[in-house]
Structure 1
Amino acid sequence: MTHKTILLVTDANEHENDLTAAADLCTAVNAHLSVLLVKLAAPPPLGEYAAMSVAWLDERAEDIQQLDEAVERARATLKGLEISFDANGIYCETAWADNDVGSRARYADITLIGASLRTDTPLRARAIDGALFYSARPVLLATNRHSLTLRPKKILLAWNSTMESARAAREALEMMESAEEVNVVLIDPDAASTKNGQEPGADVATYLARHGITVTVDRLPSAGRRVEEVLIQHAIDTSADLIVMGAYGHTRLRERIFGGVTKAMIEAPVVPVLMVH
């Protein structure tokens, strides 16, 4: 789909590089940049007189002031870049951050999670979950190593015949139509009519080809490696600009306890990743 509004979620500190990268991304596709600076509220103290803690109230007041100042700095930076933008901040409890981010993300075509959030694990996890589960919009994970683009030349589509991967393919359809090459990758595919069909990858390749997309299908063995390791290495080997994949084919609880491809790709994206739940 055409991207006209891009939401950047970042924190109140160390967000300058994210602003620049997001502004460049919006300039390239003539999109509006909506910036959401998030500050997680200081947790309340514990103890008999916790509710009356002056130090805690002072800390929250200082946090809010820092957030307001960060918003003003972000607006000043973006004004100098001459793009269409808005910038706002929210000070929220950790438990509600995903809902707050998700409610804002519903009014954007895509949510960008900047590379700087790698240093703020709680906020990053909440922001990604909120955008994925409460906005019905795709999430783009940035990295420090690759420049961001919504017009990638080479795309790796991670395919496992799930609804999540189908949604991801549909959301990225316009990008794939303008790409030079789309590599559909299946790891240890099961050739069964109830899963991937007798020729795994053929159905989705045919679907994409009808949209005029140049497609190659790679069925790769894991050979004892984790699925995410195979995907990342193949993306590097094929010089992919973007990995497109479905997110959380299993429940979040199961992913967090036992691990999973989504969790691993979120924690350490080497190539920019577009995720859709």
Structure 2
Amino acid sequence: MTNDTTHHVILSHKDIAPERSAAHRMDLGPTPSHPLLDILVHIHEDDQEQVRLDAAVQLANKLGADITCVQVTPDISAVAMDPYGGAYYVPELYEAQTKIDESARDRVNAVLADRIRDHDWRHITGHPVQALVQAASLADLLIVSEGRMLAAKAKPKPLAGHLAMAARAPVLVLPEGAALDFSHPVIVAWNNSFEAAQALRFAVPVLTLAAQVEILVVGDDESAPTARDAQSYLARRGIASRINLVHHPIGRTTSSLLMDRIDEIHPSLVVMGAYGHTRALELVFGGVTQSMLENMPAPLLLAH
């Protein structure tokens, strides 16, 4: 008979670094080896813009970072078409879009004026993914929402998935209406992949804010020993953590077990590597990253 019960084995951080208590960790502040100094936030007039701004302000104030607002406008300079395939410049459309952009800038500047010491503004004309990837090339974090590349009522587009694959900076993806709140544990999804290690390294400054950190290993005997290495890596940076080894029952997917744990503890954030398999394979056959982006049970910090 097959046992399909999910089992958890919790390993404390104390065996790794007993001198690093959570109380002691709170006095250390952001780790100097991995500072988070430059935060980019996607500015787009949709119903999630305020959520992105709130998260950026919260992280900037707690970690001493600077905020750069990145506004992307699609190139509409030549949009009128004739029957022969010609495209023509339409000044009225350009002027209307310019007014919309200026209004958005005034609105965001007013929102941020009393909340942070200063911020920068970048306006880029082009495709949203390409523009944000370009802008984030030297950033420490890029904040976006789960979808919506176009107008507020447009069908959601896979903006976050594209950015997680292409951006050099880690991508913080916020679910609809979800505020960034560090009163709950942070889950670090660990499978000993390059992507998971990359996400862990990038997440260090944010993890200093976490109430608790749980390194979650789902049914992978080969990854379990290296979770100790990840725990040691965090401990040396003053971050206490525990390891949760979850048995993988037959017939269950890794993403479903991860979702179960998220439902149990309601984490403030899930840190994970993005697209350990190619994105095309995940789109066709499914995968953990794709499942998380489709369901968005919690804020995600992704790195590829």
TM range (shorter): 0.7 to 0.9
Normalising by structure 1, we get a TM-score of 0.79
Conserved in 2, the CA contact under 8 Å of 1:18 and 1:114?
Answer: yes
Conserved in 2, the CA contact under 8 Å of 1:140 and 1:273?
Answer: yes
Say if 2:187 is the partner of 1:156: yes
> Structure 1: how far apart are the matches of 2:79 and 2:103?
23
The DSSP-based 3-state class of the residue aligned with 1:106 is helix
- In the TM superposition, 1:175-186 aligns within 5 A as 175-176=206-207, 179-186=210-217
In structure 2, which of residues 20, 35, 40 is the aligned counterpart of residue 2 of structure 1? Answer: 35
Gap runs ≥5 in structure 2 = 1-33
- Code of the residue aligned with 1:10 in structure 2: it is I
Conserved in 1, the CA contact under 8 Å of 2:215 and 2:242?
Answer: yes
Q: Deviations over 1:120-150 (max 9, x none)?
A: 778863465346423x21111112454215x
The DSSP-based 3-state class of the residue aligned with 2:158 is helix
1:78–1:211: structure 2 CA closer, same or farther, 3 Å change rule? closer
Conserved in 2, the CA contact under 8 Å of 1:160 and 1:186?
Answer: yes
1:137–1:121: structure 2 CA closer, same or farther, 3 Å change rule? farther
Q: Which has the higher contact order (CA 8 A, sep 6+)?
A: 2
Conserved in 2, the CA contact under 8 Å of 1:158 and 1:184?
Answer: yes
Moved more, 220-229 or 78-87: 220-229
Q: Deviations over 1:196-246 (max 9, x none)?
A: 36x574443444445552312222325534432321220231232111100
| Cα RMSD after superposing both structures | 3.2
Offset of 1:117 from its aligned partner? Answer: 4.0
- Code of the residue aligned with 1:2 in structure 2: it is P
Normalising by structure 2, we get a TM-score of 0.73
Conserved in 1, the CA contact under 8 Å of 2:160 and 2:173?
Answer: no
Aligned-residue sequence identity (percent) comes to 24
Q: How many residues align?
A: 266
The DSSP-based 3-state class of the residue aligned with 1:7 is strand
Moved more, 82-91 or 242-251: 82-91
Hey, what does 1:238 align to over in structure 2? 265
> Structure 2: how far apart are the matches of 1:79 and 1:265?
34
Higher Rg: 2
- In the TM superposition, 1:1-277 aligns within 5 A as 1-14=34-47, 15-42=49-76, 44=79, 48-53=83-88, 58-92=92-126, 94=127, 97-114=128-145, 117=148, 125-126=158-159, 129-130=162-163, 132-134=165-167, 136-144=168-176, 146-149=178-181, 154-176=185-207, 179-189=210-220, 191=221, 195-196=222-223, 199=225, 201-212=227-238, 213-221=240-248, 223-277=250-304
1:200–1:104: structure 2 CA closer, same or farther, 3 Å change rule? closer
> Structure 2: how far apart are the matches of 1:187 and 1:224?
14
Where is the helix percentage greater, Structure 1 or Structure 2? Answer: 1
1:131–1:70: structure 2 CA closer, same or farther, 3 Å change rule? farther
1:2–1:117: structure 2 CA closer, same or farther, 3 Å change rule? farther
- Code of the residue aligned with 1:204 in structure 2: it is A
Conserved in 2, the CA contact under 8 Å of 1:37 and 1:88?
Answer: yes
Moved more, 81-90 or 203-212: 203-212
Offset of 1:49 from its aligned partner? Answer: 4.0
